[in-house]
Structure 1
Amino acid sequence: MRKIFGYECKRLLCNKFFIGLILVILFYGWQVLNRVTILGVSHTAPFSPWSYGDYLSRMIPLLWIGALFFLTFFTSKAERRRKVITSATPVKPSIYGLVRCCAALTGTALLALVVILLAIVFYGQMFHWYDWSSLLLPTFLTLVPPLIFALGSGWRLGRLSAWLLFVWMLVPILLMTLPLPEFLGLLNGNVFVERPLTLNILDPAFSLSIGTVITQCVLLLTGILFLVVSPTKSKKH
């Protein structure tokens, strides 16, 4: 299993797409940090959980697209032809599918790590600020649920049709343009801008409504279910 996992990771990570995506993330992320985050959002400090969360939410569309692009490696026409060979291996299809999901998850986690490390460098260079324990909660709540959901839902959609993955890539971009209610505010980052203003204090402590937390939990659990429940069933060709 380790050899299969290593092979799949090598396919996903050792290619021009992965390198190009990292360069795009670094460029765009640095622009956001220097032009938006540095000013602070809603009268909060640039290194507050609110400003940091706003930065993460602006990076989610790129991370979402990256996660789905990893899945396209498993749904292309060439991959469907290769399935004739892989189906002859002694590895159970369910295990093989799970290994592929783990490889895609590894690639997505590395992209998210790049986003986080970029913020670390920025805060250290600009403000000599290193209190990262205060940002662990917004990091988890902002990044983990939508990215797990992207992988899980993309895994299911890709088994139906490869082109559905490309359509699904547009979802976070569309959400960024919609005036969502507060309990959906983490889907487009509006909660980081609007909620501090409703707390009526300067630079308030980070907090989220129960509805927002529940929404993120539902996203996370749904993504996990999509990944682990019958992940390798596909229509016959």
Structure 2
Amino acid sequence: LPAERACLLIAERWRAILPSAQQGFSPEFLAQLEETAASEYLGELAYRGGGLTTLRDLSLGTAPTTSAAARSAQVKELLIGENIRHASLLNLQTRENNFGVVLFPHSAPKPGSSSQTRLLLGVGLQIGMTLENYVVMHDAHRRTKEYELLTQIGQAISSRLDKDEVLRTVHKELGQLFDTSNFYVAFQQGEYIHFELEVTEGKIQPKRSRKLSNGITEHIIRTGAPL
């Protein structure tokens, strides 16, 4: 199927792991689609079409619509802005997950023959399975890294007697997993909360204390549960 332009639009749920990609469109096109939640809307259209659907004569206002009329109009406006008149949507669905949709414009109202349609559906399934395998491997790698990190933190705690050094080591090691540029470690002692390590915008702040209140810190200490 000849297509000089195409867009892989990942569903919002998976964007922290899987990046969207595009070729042949304007640089801002992908970001604009993501801002309008287009992956969910277009994915729904493709799913309703059995995994593959075609948008025809967008400039004439005959594109399919759903109950989300405002979102439909936004997406349609973006597509027309890229000089797209006809486009096909290929759903990237597996048994367990929906990873997004592939959008590719074409000049003719009908993208191809029935054999090409079957081929595209097979390709969509293979892409979906590949993305799913990557997510599984990514999660396994993350869990392994978390285990290694906990081991390193345990070794650091057992090999150091200075409390400040231990807390700085914990802060440094956790920075391998997530952004710790804003971070603190606080303890409750009596009627006070003591901030033993506090980092703001990457800078270590002086130690401080304050009286108990109904803040987030007190809630976490009281319940022992994350937010």
When the two structures are superposed, what TM-score results if normalisation uses the length of structure 1? 0.24
Which has more strand, going by share of residues?
2
- Bigger RCO of structures 1 and 2 (CA < 8 A, at least 6 apart): 1
Higher-Rg structure is 2
When the two structures are superposed, what TM-score results if normalisation uses the length of structure 2? 0.25
